[in-house]
Structure formats: C-alpha cells, structure tokens
Chain A
Amino acid sequence: MEAVAIEKPKTIEPAITYINGSEALMRALVAEEVDTIFGYPGGAIMPVYDALYDFQDRINHILVRHEQGAGHAAQGYARMQGRAGVCLVTSGPGATNLVTAIADALIDSTPMVCIVGQVGKKLLGTDAFQEADVMGVTMPITKWNYQITSADEVPEIVAKAFYIAQSGRPGPVLLDMTKSAQLEMMTEPFVYEKCQNIISYRPRLTPKVDQLEVAAKLINEAKRPYIFAGHGVQIAKAEAELQAFAEKTGIPVATTLLGQSTISTDHPLYVGWLGMHGNYGPNVLTDQADVIIAIGMRFDDRVTGDASKYIRQAKVVHIEIDPAEIDKIIKAHAPLVGDAKECLKALLPLVHENDHTVWRNEFKKYDAIEYEKITEPELSSTEGKIRMAEVIDMLSRKTNGEAVLVTDVGQHQMMASRYYQFKRPNSLVTSGGMGTMGFALPAAFGAQVGASDRQVVAIIGDGCFQMTLQELGTIVQNKQPVKAIILNNNFLGMVRQWQQLFHDRRYSFVELQNPNFIMIAQGFGMDGHTCTERDNLSDSLDKMLAYKGPYLLEVIVEKEENVFPMVPSGASVSQIRLS
C-alpha cells in the first residue's frame, strides 16, 4: 500500500464569518435584553431552537404545554415587567394556538413579540405541511406583523418589532419567519441597532398646550369632578402622578377593572371601581359628575352600559395615548393625546388646589348602602357553603393586599376585584377586554417569572381552570411558587347568573362534572388540598401561602351565588341592580 503523504496545511486567510438567520435572531433578542422566552418547538422553527441551544446561558427558554399557555405567560410576564414578553412557536397549529393570546394582548394593550416559524419561502402559498396564512390570520389582532423571508432582514425587523410592541399604546407584534430565512446565511456582518423611530409611526407623548389649558379650565371650574383611572395609568407607570394630581385637586378617583391597584384602596380619594360589576356609588354617581377626567381608559361597554345614556351631563377630559380612542365612544371636550404620565405632569401645575369633600361624601352614602345590602351579608354568612367573597377577603387580609392577583374570567374575577384590597401598584393581572377563560393559570406563571420577588396568587374558576390546566406541568417543571385558588361552584357561574336573571333560570349547559382537581395537580407533581368548610378556610389559606413551592387550593363555594351590584347588559349605569 502506498503511503499517503500528509500535506502541510496551507495557511488560511481568516474569512469573515457570517451567521445564519436563526443565530441572528438569537443575537437580536440578546441585544434587546430578552432573558426569557415562552415557547414550544416544532418543525418549522427547529433551526431557531437549534440556535437557542447555544444561547441557554443568556436566554431562559420556558417550555410550555400548549402555545396558548406561552402567549398568556408572556402576557403575565410583560404586565409585571413593563416590557415585551416573547413567545416562540412553530408554524401552522403552533401559530394558530397563539391567536387567542395575541387578541387578548391587543385589546388589553400588552406588549408582546411573537416569533412564529413558517414554511420555507419556496413553499409559501402551496398548502405545505403545517402552513397556515399566519400573516392573514393575525393581521387584525396585532399592532404590527411582518414576514421575514431573508436572514439579512432579521436585525432591522426584530428591532422594529420591539420598538412597536413597547412604545405608544403597547401591543402584540408577530414575526412570521420562514424556515429558509432561519437557515440561510446572512450576506453581511451582523450589526444590531435598536429602533428609535419609524417615520410612519410617531406616538404622541406630550399633549397639545391649548388642549391642556382647556382641560385645566374645565377641571378648575368643576363642582363635581370625577377621575376615571384606567390601565393606561399603570402602563405609563403614572401612579405617583395620578395620586399627586388627585391630592392637589381633591377629586375622587374610581378605576376601571384593569385600572385597579393604580391607587391604593385605602387612599382617601379612592372611591371604588367602575363597570358592570363595579361598586354602587362609583357607577351611579357618574350621572352626577360635571367633569370627568378619564385617564388611560377607553370607555369599554362594560364600563358605560348604554353609551348613549352615559355621562351626558358631563364635560370630558380624555387623557389617552391612542388618538383613535378619542371620541370613539364618548365625546371628549378636552382631548389630551399623550402618555398618561406626561399628561398628568403637564396638567398638575395648571390645576388649582381644591377640596371636594361635599361631593366626595356623596360616594360614602352609596358605600353604606352597598355595604349593608351586599358586602356585609356576603362576608358574614355563617351557614351554607363558603362564599367567594369570604375567600378573597381573607386572602386580602392575609397578604396585606400586597400580592399580585391574577384572575380568570367570570364570577370569581369580579369577586376578586370587589374584595381584594390592593395596596401596591401593578397588582392585578386579568383578561379585561377579551375576557379569555383559561388566562389565569399561564398568566400567573408568567407573572411569577416576571416578578420573582412578589407573591403571585391566581384566582380561577372551575370552568376556566379546565381550559389551560396543562400548564400545571410548566409551573412544576420550572419550580415557580405560583399559588392557585380554584373557586369551585361546579358551574359556569357567570353564564348561570345571566340565565337565572334574564332567561328564567333555564340553565343551558352550565353545569360541570368536574374532575378531582387535587389529584390532577398531584399527577403533575404539585401539592394541594380542598377546603370545604368555613372553619378550615383560614388554615387552608395559611397553608397555601406558607408553602414553599407551587400550590393548588380548591375551595368548594356556594353553587348559586350571584355577583352584585350588576348593570344589566345594555342598560344604563343608573339601572344598576343590588339584587
């Protein structure tokens, strides 16, 4: 055999190394300081997952059990962090499973960047395996979406995505990335520059001076002014400005559902919350205010009831970052388009010190009625099953109103809002606009990841829980100490309530044959127990709160309990019912 001469290797010029689209994506995410991704792999996103393998030291990828869970977890994370939550899923069903969460994030102004795999560029439009027109599907429910078809686009588009998701009125952005773009090499060196502005997109942050003057005049001349604080206050982190503004002017503050916890419930100017199941006085007295100062809220129909009969007597100062919300439902006499924090800062020196004690005392009269007719009876029952109100009230005391409450959708959601006494800002994560059942468990997980220093408690109905209960697996695998309380009444309670009140008790498909929830949790490796007796409730909550890891507490509550006050759907707020 002939010996093969070993050739001395020639010296190789160090070539410029280019990276592929997947690695570019990873580097872009790192450049955006993303440290957490909620995701689920699949065929069309595998190159990205392969790149992610080398970035595990910088990016904590959390494997969920269903893409909807990734979406809601990213929402919970985003709401705690005040910056975009990131989801990573595959094409087709992976992307369509994310749709509910994207719609939820849009309507509740939650920043989110969803990166979705797509079939290769050559296969686009051919009905390829796991191909869905995700751009088309998500167009109406995203703030922006974009299909990345070449690796070179990655840095610029990712930068735009984060900028759009997080600036102005925040919202979800979707990037549909073809597999070919994930695999192909960039043809230029990777350079990342954060997006600072987009010519066609310029969210206005500071209000117009002339409108400020109009607003200040209205506020200064008002006899019965009234502040509505919405989610926008929390998004703008304007809690301190809101408080300063209210304290200087002496104006009572009510919040929307999502505006809760922007002002402490024990603040003397806080009067309660608005809406279908909000407080009595705050709803009814909207009809007596002469100037409404609406801050970062959009007059949802659950707040206004019949909008044609809503606050017709009042002049409206509308502080809102999204110009499309101005005059959409309620005409604004002084529209202040801008960031809530900037607007309140600008308005503060223009308003006079005032004291509206007489007006504020009006609220107390109604509070007394609400307390006597609803709150007191709900909290002091000694017979029958435990009532939802008791659980929330006790939880509120035991956590000093300082926990992050993540609620699902239905009666328990309204009860949680009624009875939890929020003391800290940014303490309620709930699905407000979309009303997505199944939101709470994954969102609570995401919130806990986003706020590891806070106690996160999810309040979940027995119906809601069964929509996303697989995320128990995610919670256990990631060792997040989420506490979940199922308020189990064996019914789809809110629908049942409507059927009782408006459909002659014709209970149409609202009763559930429930599984053994604790056994399910234990199957996932999560501890928990059931509380059936009032006498055990306090100990049960103590046990749950003291538990080191995640814990599930099921409380068997009164089956046919109703949430009051209630503004019947389509009625005016003055028609609010107390029973």
Chain B
Amino acid sequence: MTTYTICVFTSNTIGLLNRITIIFTRRRVNIESLTVSETERKGVSRFTIVIKHESRDEVEKLVRQIRKIVEVLAVFGYLNDEIVFNEIALFKISTPLGGQTLDVEIINKKYKAWVVYWGLDYVVIEKTGTEDEIFEFFAYVRPQHEILEFVRSGRVAVGKTEQGLVEYLPEAEWAYYL
C-alpha cells in the first residue's frame, strides 16, 4: 500500500465535497484524511485527500474521474516524497493535583510541541508534524499522563515544485486575499 496525496482545486460551491467523495466510494477507496479550505484565491477551494492504494494505475483513473467534475479546476496526485506535508494534533492531558508534573522543557525542545491552553486540571498541547512525529510524541505522553482527548487535523501539503499549484489553474482574472 502506497500513500497518495490528492490535491483538488475547485470553485467553492455547495455539494462539491459530496460529488468528489462519491468517486472514492464507487471505487471502494477509503479516505484516510481530508481537509478543505479556501485558497489565497477567492472562491477557489483546495481539498487535500490522503488515500492508501496498491495500484498507481487505479489512483490515476480516480484522479481523471475527479477531473471530470464540472467545478473542478485542477487535480494533482502526489507521492509522499513529492510534497512537504504536515498536520496538527491537539492533546488534552489530565494534570490532577499530585499527578506527575509536565516536563515542558522536553515537550518544547525535544518534541517541538507547545502547551496552548491551561485548564484547572488539564492542559492542551499542540503538536505539528508528520503522522510519524505526532505518534512519536503520543508514545512519549501516554505512559506518563492520561490523555483525555486526542485529535488530528488531517494532512495539508504543498508540492515541492518551484511554482505554487495555483499557477497551474486555468488563466482568469482571479481575485486574491491580501
């Protein structure tokens, strides 16, 4: 199984997420993670979809079928070594009175994670990194502290090409966010 990251640029319209995911469902491909947000261009959304698949051919067919959707401006499929990617994880960790103290220095310096919220008897730690780095940190935390809640954002990625992907979109008078 190889991990593929599929970046889809679309016009920002209702129901499009559905239209895109239907193609994965039809081909029985499970989505590992999916994030959607508007790009620096107004009205253009960017989907980052991570899947695992055995066959590159099949992934290419999937990409071509996504490209067929009327509102889709462009689709790019990547292997991990072709992109820079990260995700964010939040750890809600119990810090009861008398419990083990949090080693903030290790957390900061070794794991590049930050405490972003202090509650009365818990803290929230934010860790940015690859899936592996996040789980490395997870493995560090779990034996020492009770993890009350844990959530990952799903992958965001940019290509390693010189240009930004939006440069590949069809030419038009795009409006930008400043």
**Pairing of A with B:** yes
Binding site for B on A (CB under 8 A): 135-136, 139-140, 143-144, 147, 164, 198-202, 322-324, 326-328
Rounded to whole angstroms, the CA-CA distance of A513 and B114 in the bound complex is 77
A328 touches B72 (CB 8 A): no
- Please give me the 4 A-B residue pairs with the lowest Cβ-Cβ distance, nearest first: A324-B64, A200-B73, A144-B70, A201-B70
Contacts of A328 in B (CB 8 A): 61, 64
Contacts of B22 in A (CB 8 A): 139-140
Known: A199-B170, A323-B64, A327-B57. A164 touches B19 (CB 8 A): no
A202 touches B61 (CB 8 A): no
B61 touches A139 (CB 8 A): no
Rounded to whole angstroms, the CA-CA distance of A59 and B64 in the bound complex is 39
What's the minimum C-beta distance from B6 to chain A, rounded to whole angstroms?
15
**For residue B71, which residue of chain A has the nearest CB?**
A200
B70 touches A324 (CB 8 A): no
A199 touches B61 (CB 8 A): no
Partner of A324, one of B14, B18, B57, B68: B68
> Interface size for chain B: under 10, 10 to 19, 20 to 34, or 35 or more residues?
20 to 34
Rounded to whole angstroms, the CA-CA distance of A326 and B65 in the bound complex is 11
Q: Is the interface of A mostly helix, strand, loop or mixed?
A: mixed
Partner of A140, one of B26, B70, B72: B26
10 contacts between A and B (CB under 8 A): A139-B18, A198-B70, A199-B170, A200-B10, A200-B73, A200-B170, A324-B65, A324-B67, A326-B64, A328-B61
Contacts of B130 in A (CB 8 A): none
Rounded to whole angstroms, the CA-CA distance of A140 and B18 in the bound complex is 9
Cβ of B86 under 8 Å from chain A? no
Contacts of A144 in B (CB 8 A): 70
A136 touches B18 (CB 8 A): yes
Rounded to whole angstroms, the CA-CA distance of A326 and B19 in the bound complex is 21
B61 touches A200 (CB 8 A): no
Known: A324-B65, A327-B57, A327-B60. A202 touches B18 (CB 8 A): no
Contacts of A202 in B (CB 8 A): 170
Report B151-172 residues with CB < 8 Å from chain A CB: 170, 172
Cβ of B15 under 8 Å from chain A? yes
Contacts of A139 in B (CB 8 A): 15, 18-19, 22
A327 touches B61 (CB 8 A): yes
Q: What would 17 more interface pairs be, CB under 8 Å, given A140-B26, A164-B70, A327-B61?
A: A135-B15, A136-B18, A140-B22, A147-B14, A147-B15, A199-B11, A200-B70, A200-B71, A201-B70, A201-B71, A322-B68, A323-B67, A323-B68, A326-B64, A327-B60, A328-B61, A328-B64
Report B60-80 residues with CB < 8 Å from chain A CB: 60-61, 64-65, 67-68, 70-73
Which of B14, B61, B68, B170 has most chain A Cβ within 10 Å?
B68
Contacts of A199 in B (CB 8 A): 11, 73, 170, 172
Rounded to whole angstroms, the CA-CA distance of A508 and B61 in the bound complex is 38
Contacts of B73 in A (CB 8 A): 199-200
Rounded to whole angstroms, the CA-CA distance of A328 and B27 in the bound complex is 13
Rounded to whole angstroms, the CA-CA distance of A136 and B19 in the bound complex is 9
**For residue B14, which residue of chain A has the nearest CB?**
A147
Contacts of A143 in B (CB 8 A): 70
What's the minimum C-beta distance from A131 to chain B, rounded to whole angstroms?
16
Rounded to whole angstroms, the CA-CA distance of A255 and B82 in the bound complex is 43
Rounded to whole angstroms, the CA-CA distance of A132 and B120 in the bound complex is 48
Contacts of B68 in A (CB 8 A): 322-324
Rounded to whole angstroms, the CA-CA distance of A418 and B72 in the bound complex is 42
**For residue B72, which residue of chain A has the nearest CB?**
A200
Contacts of B71 in A (CB 8 A): 200-201
Contacts of A198 in B (CB 8 A): 70
Rounded to whole angstroms, the CA-CA distance of A200 and B72 in the bound complex is 6
What's the minimum C-beta distance from A514 to chain B, rounded to whole angstroms?
38
Contacts of B61 in A (CB 8 A): 324, 327-328
Contacts of B67 in A (CB 8 A): 323-324
What's the minimum C-beta distance from B31 to chain A, rounded to whole angstroms?
16
What's the minimum C-beta distance from A366 to chain B, rounded to whole angstroms?
34
Contacts of B14 in A (CB 8 A): 147
**For residue B64, which residue of chain A has the nearest CB?**
A324
A200 touches B64 (CB 8 A): no
Partner of B11, one of A135, A200, A327: A200
